[in-house]
Amino acid sequence: MTERFLGKDLLCLEPLTADQIRFILDTAEPFKEVSERTIKKVPTLRGKTIVNLFFEASTRTRISFEFAEKRLSADTVNVAASGSSVEKGETLVDTARNLEAMRIDMVVMRHPSSGAAQFLADRIRSNVVNAGDGTHEHPTQGLLDLLTLRDKFGRIEGLKVCICGDILHSRVARSNIWGLLKLGAQVAVCGPVSLLPLGIEDLGVTVFRRIEDAIQWADALNVLRIQLERMHAGFLPSLREYNRVFGVTVERLEKAPRDLVILHPGPMNRGVEIDSRVADGPHSVILGQVTNGVAVRMAVLYLLAGGRPEMAEAAKGRSGEASE
């Protein structure tokens, strides 16, 4: 095996194998423990420089990555850039070259254009982690959702998970769909047809047009945020109507044949896609997602920063100590 197990970058879940995904989740387990210690730090990535390059405002994801990086003892730099190349004046190509010239080890990037993470990864030698590119994928979110489901159910295979909301514009939905399908779950989506992408069934996903049907079927719901912009762009008439027709409410959940586990990538629009009593209720694992987020991101950074097989072989030969 002459390739790194995960490759140079983590850009999306679509090309990963089930084996690779499970491996990342397994690697996240010991990192959960690190976050429970008094001294929440391991020296593993000491001396590594990681840049958080966020072209879209995001507090929670950036903070989660920052904790992950600092708990691995890496040096982090946050760069908040505005919008696309066209608006900014400095092209993404130049940004990439500048980072490379500064000998950055890893870049965590969020960008409003689908494909931007791959664009950057193709042009710099540093590891690139996609923290969300346009409406394409948000792989670490997909992974932490999988980990949270696994924690709750003990497995992913055979689980019935329905993703609810604006699937068309959701990178979280796409990453979840890939991750869940690869690990053998049954996947459904539910939302207004105007917010469902063409060809979604061809990916192997069931479509529910009514939230009540989804609730009857599912073991878990991953509830996505509905954005005001969609209303302005004509995809749905109003947030009020969305809540009345698709909102995940206590009343609707009471009719479910079993206790549904509730996930939400955040930030929540309480009272729109999800009721407060559901979000704060006993079946919500939303806070667990946040905790797992740091562990998953630590695992990803650790695995990407890790070395090439030939260096491991050389190290083994030298000290004779195999640490697997």
Partner 1 sequence: MAKEIVEFAEGTDRLVLVGIHRRGPELSGRLARMIEAEEGVSIPRGTLDITLYRDDVGTIGPRPVVGATHLPENIDGKCVVIVDDVLHTGRTIRAALDEVADFGRPARIGLAALIDRGGRELPIQADIVGKAVRSGAGDRVDVFLQEVDGRDAVELVRGEGGGGR
Partner 2 sequence: MRPVLIRGGRVIDPSQGYDAVSDLLVVDGRIAGLGQGLGAPDGAEVVDARGKVVSPGLIDLHVHLREPGREDVETVATGARAAAAGGFTAVCPMPNTDPVTDNQAAVGFIVKQAQAAGAARVYPIAAVSMGQKGQQLSEFGELVGAGAVAVSDDGHPVASSHLMRMALSYARTFDIPVADHCEDPTLKGNGVMHEGLVSTRLGLCGIPAAAEEIMVARNLLLADLTGGHIHLCHMSTRGSVELIRRAKDKGVRVTAEVTPHHLTLTHEACEGYNTNAKMNPPLREAADVAALRAGLKDGTIDVIATDHAPHHYDAKEREFDDAPFGIVGLETALGLGLTELVQGGVLTLPELIDRMSAAPARVFQLPGGSLQRGAPGDVVIVDPEARWRVDPSTFLSKSRNTPYDGRELRGLVDRTIVAGLTVFRGKAC
Residue among 122, 147, 121 nearest 130 (CA): 121
Among 20, 84, 206, 227, binds partner 2 (CB under 8 A): 84
The residue type found at 172 is: V
By beta-carbon proximity to partner 2, the closer residue of 71 and 174 is 174
Residue 133's binding partner among partner 1, partner 2, none (Cβ under 5 to 8 angstroms by kind) is: partner 2
Rounded CA separation 86/67 (Å): 32
Residue among 10, 14, 25 nearest 182 (CA): 14
Under the criterion CB under 8 A, does residue 202 sit at the interface with partner 1? no
**Cα 312 from chain centroid?**
29
By beta-carbon proximity to partner 1, the closer residue of 234 and 317 is 317
DSSP annotation string for 74-122: -EEEEEE--S-HHHHSS-HHHHHHHHHHTT-SEEEEEESSTTHHHHHHH
Please report how many Cα atoms fall inside a 13 Å half-sphere around the Cα of residue 192, on the Cβ side.
21
Closest approach, Cβ 175 to partner 1, in A, equals 23
By beta-carbon proximity to partner 1, the closer residue of 2 and 59 is 2
Q: Do residues 28 and 295 lie in contact, with contact meaning Cβ atoms separated by under 8 Å?
A: yes
| Burial of residue 256 (number of CB atoms within 10 Å: 0-12, 13-18, 19+) | middle
Closest approach, Cβ 13 to partner 2, in A, equals 12
| Burial of residue 282 (number of CB atoms within 10 Å: 0-12, 13-18, 19+) | exposed
Stretch that binds partner 2, among 37-45, 135-143, 248-256, 270-278 (CB under 8 A): 135-143
Rounded CA separation 289/142 (Å): 10
Under the criterion CB under 8 A, does residue 34 sit at the interface with partner 1? yes
Under the criterion CB under 8 A, does residue 302 sit at the interface with partner 1? yes
Among 15, 17, 38, 234, binds partner 1 (CB under 8 A): 38
Residue 34's binding partner among partner 1, partner 2, none (Cβ under 5 to 8 angstroms by kind) is: partner 1
In Å, how far are 30, 166, 193, 240, 254 from 276, measured between CA atoms? 32, 19, 25, 15, 15
Under the criterion CB under 8 A, does residue 125 sit at the interface with partner 1? no
Residue 14's binding partner among partner 1, partner 2, none (Cβ under 5 to 8 angstroms by kind) is: partner 2
Residue 199's binding partner among partner 1, partner 2, none (Cβ under 5 to 8 angstroms by kind) is: partner 2
Stretch that binds partner 1, among 52-60, 134-142, 161-169, 304-312 (CB under 8 A): 304-312
Q: Which residues pair with 49 in a beta bridge?
A: 75
Residue 204's binding partner among partner 2, partner 1, none (Cβ under 5 to 8 angstroms by kind) is: none
Closest approach, Cβ 297 to partner 1, in A, equals 15
Residue 324's binding partner among partner 2, partner 1, none (Cβ under 5 to 8 angstroms by kind) is: partner 1
Rounded CA separation 35/295 (Å): 8
List the structure tokens of 85: 């190349």
Contact residues: partner 1, CB under 8 A: 1, 3-5, 23, 26-27, 29-31, 33-34, 37-39, 41-45, 48, 302-303, 305-309, 311-315, 319-321, 323-324
Contact residues: partner 2, CB under 8 A: 14, 84-86, 91-93, 111-116, 118-119, 133-137, 171, 174, 197-200, 202-203
